[in-house]
């Protein structure tokens, strides 16, 4: 690391000098020499080569290091030559000219490990502080904040002077403070100011810097300021943590809601103990996989829309399978809960093994569209985008289902049949058809849950099993036959789970929650929102 720092010093001085001189003439001392290190296939030689290339100031330096980061830097073990793979073809890294004709045989990518990734980050951070893209400049400032390399100070000061975007400028000032507080020879006043800036940042990286990154031998004043800042950051983060737990709880609740809401129809409204419910979820997830495979194969540009296509497809697939199960098996078993339980459990095993035979026992990869990847920080709250969209999706499904039951003819017929079958039949409602459609609707919604779960869980034949118990728990806890009960039940269980988990751990937390639900059911056997009146006897 010290060697690396010394080398990087030259780099930043070179950049600084270049900027101050306002000249763009690229000198290339040692560039080609340094480049040879990439052909040695050893991590320490590659490390030296990165720094060598970075300090050479060659025009291709940033491209070469960027290619190394992405695994596009290739070497020819026989000839010891280095190539860049940049669409559409190969470039000779030494000259920057495209390689004519066939690429040489036996090219290998230059390998990197975590240590080298950090070196690359530091080098690219320095090189891209002045780049055109504000997001890249922001990231560069963040990596300087982490590397705290005193030699980046010159480049950083130049960049701060030029920076117009407030967000990026703030990150650069924080990076500067991180350097000032750790470098040798800063005055006490400078250090105190720097600590104030870092304290203002108030995130985990700031906590890490103040907690363990400070050099020894600081004055008592500075140490006191750092300790105060740590306490303030800890307090600030602890306050946000409550909110963060609530967010986690709502997120878990939305997953439970999605998994359970289909069951609230088949079990809650129709009274069928449907053990194959989880497999409907699994079918939805596999439908997503098939849709994505088709898109990858035929229209790769449409990938971000794959989930939008998978949603109706999963609904139809799971719904049709549900209708087939109802017509083929369950309709002969109405009023015989034990037989229904065993038969649907058998069906769940059959479906699992069928999927295992068709798709293989391994997990299938379902990709995440770009808009669902990543995290957004709001204050001390980290909101992961995939969870955010799942919450939105769960809400939409819930409202749509309520509306369908309330405002459509089919919904009216469903309510009529489940409340009083014989009366409904007398009103010329085809009860058999309604039974099949209701079961299909519940199954189809389970399929929708599968689309969402494919984003956060395994797509494997066992997917459904892990949700079936939780789903029954939610429906029973919320009150059988009541969709609002399912909503409140799912959110209550989710939030309770997430507030218990930090204290009790994941295993004990889950057990504690089960015990609480059992006690609750003892007290209120019909759940949170019990049906009243004649519907109870139906």
Partner 1 sequence: MTRNFLKTAGAAAALFVLAALPLAGQARAQETIKVGILHSLSGTMAISETTLKDVMLMLIEDQNKKGGLLGKKLEPVVVDPASNWPLFAEKARELISKQKVDAVFGCWTSVSRKSVLPVFRELNSVLFYPVQYEGEESERNVFYTGAAPNQQAIPAVDYLAKEEKVTRWVLAGTDYVYPRTTNKILEAYLKSKGVKAEDIMINYTPFGHSDWQTIVADIKRFGSQGKRTAVVSTINGDANVPFYKELGNQGVSAKDIPVVAFSVGEEELAGLDTKPLLGHLAAWNYFMSVDTPENKAFIAKWKSFIKNDKRVTNDPMEAHVIGFNMWVEAVKKAGTTNADKVIDAIVGVKVPNLTGGISEMLPNHHITKPVLIGEVRADGQFDVVWKTPGLVAGDAWSKELDGSKDLVADWVKLKCGNYNTKTNRCGG
Which chain residues interact with partner 1 by CB under 8 A? 43, 71, 111, 113-115, 117-118, 121, 146, 204-205, 207-213, 237, 244-245, 248, 251-252, 255, 352-353, 356, 360-365, 367-368, 373-375, 382, 384-387, 456-462, 465-466, 497-498, 501-502, 505-507, 510
Kindly state the smallest distance separating residue 71's Cβ from partner 1, in Å: 6
CB 130 within 8 A of CB 162: yes
* Cα–Cα dist 60/82, whole Å: 13
**Structure token digits, residue 402:** 């309520």
Kindly state the smallest distance separating residue 488's Cβ from partner 1, in Å: 19
Nearest to 324, CA basis, from 355, 262, 290, 280: 280
Of 72 and 81, the one with the shorter C-beta distance to partner 1 is 72
H helix intervals, 37-187: 43-56, 61-69, 114-127, 134-147, 153-162, 166-182
* Cα–Cα dist 8/68, whole Å: 18
Kindly state the smallest distance separating residue 289's Cβ from partner 1, in Å: 10
Whole-angstrom CA distances from 487 to 114, 274, 440 are 45, 19, 21
At a CB cut-off of 8 Å and minimum separation 6, what does 55 contact? Answer: 7, 8, 10, 11, 14, 30
Of 10 and 246, the one with the shorter C-beta distance to partner 1 is 246
Of 334 and 359, the one with the shorter C-beta distance to partner 1 is 359
Of 197 and 233, the one with the shorter C-beta distance to partner 1 is 233
Whole-angstrom CA distances from 418 to 51, 429, 439, 456 are 73, 12, 12, 35
At a CB cut-off of 8 Å and minimum separation 6, what does 479 contact? Answer: 485, 486, 489, 526, 527, 528, 529, 530, 531
DSSP strands (E only) in 434-524: none
Kindly state the smallest distance separating residue 471's Cβ from partner 1, in Å: 13
Of 189 and 350, the one with the shorter C-beta distance to partner 1 is 350
Question: Which run of H or of E encompasses 384?
Answer: strand 381-384
Residue 34's Cβ-count burial label (10 Å; 0-12, 13-18, 19+) is: buried
At a CB cut-off of 8 Å and minimum separation 6, what does 354 contact? Answer: none
* Cα–Cα dist 43/46, whole Å: 5
Q: How many residues does the chain have?
A: 538
* Cα–Cα dist 447/236, whole Å: 41
Of 481 and 489, the one with the shorter C-beta distance to partner 1 is 489
Kindly state the smallest distance separating residue 527's Cβ from partner 1, in Å: 23
Kindly state the smallest distance separating residue 362's Cβ from partner 1, in Å: 6
| Phi, psi (deg, nearest 5) at residue 83 | -130, 150
Residues 226, 231, 236, 238, Cα dihedral to 10°: 140
Of 326 and 501, the one with the shorter C-beta distance to partner 1 is 501
Of 362 and 430, the one with the shorter C-beta distance to partner 1 is 362
Of 103 and 374, the one with the shorter C-beta distance to partner 1 is 374
Kindly state the smallest distance separating residue 29's Cβ from partner 1, in Å: 30
* Cα–Cα dist 315/450, whole Å: 9
At a CB cut-off of 8 Å and minimum separation 6, what does 480 contact? Answer: 267, 268, 271, 526, 527, 531
Kindly state the smallest distance separating residue 204's Cβ from partner 1, in Å: 4
Sign of the Cα pseudo-torsion (526, 531, 534, 537, in order): negative
What is the number of H-type helices and E-type strands within the chain? Answer: 20, 6
Kindly state the smallest distance separating residue 43's Cβ from partner 1, in Å: 7
Of 376 and 403, the one with the shorter C-beta distance to partner 1 is 376
Of 278 and 319, the one with the shorter C-beta distance to partner 1 is 278
Kindly state the smallest distance separating residue 106's Cβ from partner 1, in Å: 12
* Cα–Cα dist 192/225, whole Å: 7
Kindly state the smallest distance separating residue 298's Cβ from partner 1, in Å: 19
Of 91 and 210, the one with the shorter C-beta distance to partner 1 is 210
Give the other-Cβ count within 10 Å of 189's Cβ. Answer: 10
Kindly state the smallest distance separating residue 472's Cβ from partner 1, in Å: 16
Kindly state the smallest distance separating residue 331's Cβ from partner 1, in Å: 28
Of 43 and 305, the one with the shorter C-beta distance to partner 1 is 43
């Amino acid at each position: 690391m010290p060697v690396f720092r010394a080398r990087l010093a030259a780099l930043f001085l070179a950049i600084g000098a270049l900027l101050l001189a306002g000249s763009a003439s690229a000198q290339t001392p040692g560039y080609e020499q340094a480049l040879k290190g990439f052909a040695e296939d050893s991590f320490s030689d590659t490390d030296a080569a990165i720094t060598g290339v970075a300090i050479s100031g060659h025009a291709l330096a940033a491209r070469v290091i960027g290619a190394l980061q992405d695994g596009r830097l290739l070497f020819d073990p026989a000839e010891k030559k280095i190539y860049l793979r940049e669409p559409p073809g190969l470039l000779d890294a030494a000259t920057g000219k495209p390689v004519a004709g066939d690429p040489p045989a036996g090219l290998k990518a230059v390998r990197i490990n975590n240590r080298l990734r950090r070196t690359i980050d530091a080098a690219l951070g320095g090189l891209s502080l002045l780049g055109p893209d504000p997001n890249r400049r922001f990231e560069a400032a963040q990596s300087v904040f982490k590397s705290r390399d005193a030699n980046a100070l010159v480049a950083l000061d130049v960049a701060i002077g030029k920076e117009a975007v407030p967000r990026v400028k703030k990150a650069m000032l924080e990076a500067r403070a991180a350097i000032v507080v750790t470098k040798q020879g800063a005055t006490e006043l400078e250090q105190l100011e720097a600590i104030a800036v870092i304290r203002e940042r108030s995130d985990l990286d700031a906590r890490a810097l103040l907690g363990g990154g400070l050099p020894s031998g600081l004055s008592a004043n500075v140490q006191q300021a750092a300790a105060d800042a740590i306490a303030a950051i800890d307090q600030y983060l602890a306050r946000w943590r409550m909110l963060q737990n609530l967010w986690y709880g709502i997120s878990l609740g939305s997953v439970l809601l999605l998994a359970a809401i289909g069951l609230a129809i088949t079990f809650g409204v129709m009274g069928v103990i449907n053990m194959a419910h989880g497999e409907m979820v699994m079918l939805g997830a596999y439908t997503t996989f098939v849709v994505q495979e088709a898109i990858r194969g035929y229209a790769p540009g449409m990938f971000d829309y794959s989930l939008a296509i998978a949603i109706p497809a999963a609904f139809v697939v799971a719904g049709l399978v549900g209708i087939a199960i109802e017509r083929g098996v369950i309709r002969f078993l109405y009023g015989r809960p034990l037989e229904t339980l065993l038969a649907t459990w058998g069906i769940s095993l059959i479906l699992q093994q069928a999927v295992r035979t068709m798709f293989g026992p391994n997990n299938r990869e379902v990709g995440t569209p770009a808009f669902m990847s990543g995290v957004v920080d709001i204050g001390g709250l980290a909101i992961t985008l995939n969870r955010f969209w799942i919450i939105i999706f769960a809400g939409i499904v819930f409202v749509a289902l309520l509306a369908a039951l309330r405002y459509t003819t089919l919904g009216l017929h469903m309510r009529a049949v489940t409340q009083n079958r014989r009366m409904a039949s007398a009103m010329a409602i085809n009860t058999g058809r309604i039974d099949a459609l209701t079961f299909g609707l519940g199954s189809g919604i389970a399929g929708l849950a599968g689309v969402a779960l494919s984003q956060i869980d395994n797509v494997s034949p066992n997917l459904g099993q892990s949700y079936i118990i939780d789903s029954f728990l939610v429906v029973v806890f919320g009150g059988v036959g009541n969709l609002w009960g399912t909503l409140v039940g799912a959110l209550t269980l989710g939030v309770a789970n997430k507030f218990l988990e930090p204290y009790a751990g994941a295993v004990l937390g889950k057990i504690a929650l089960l015990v609480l639900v059992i006690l609750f059911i003892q007290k209120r056997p019909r759940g949170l929102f019990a049906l009243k009146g004649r519907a109870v006897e139906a």
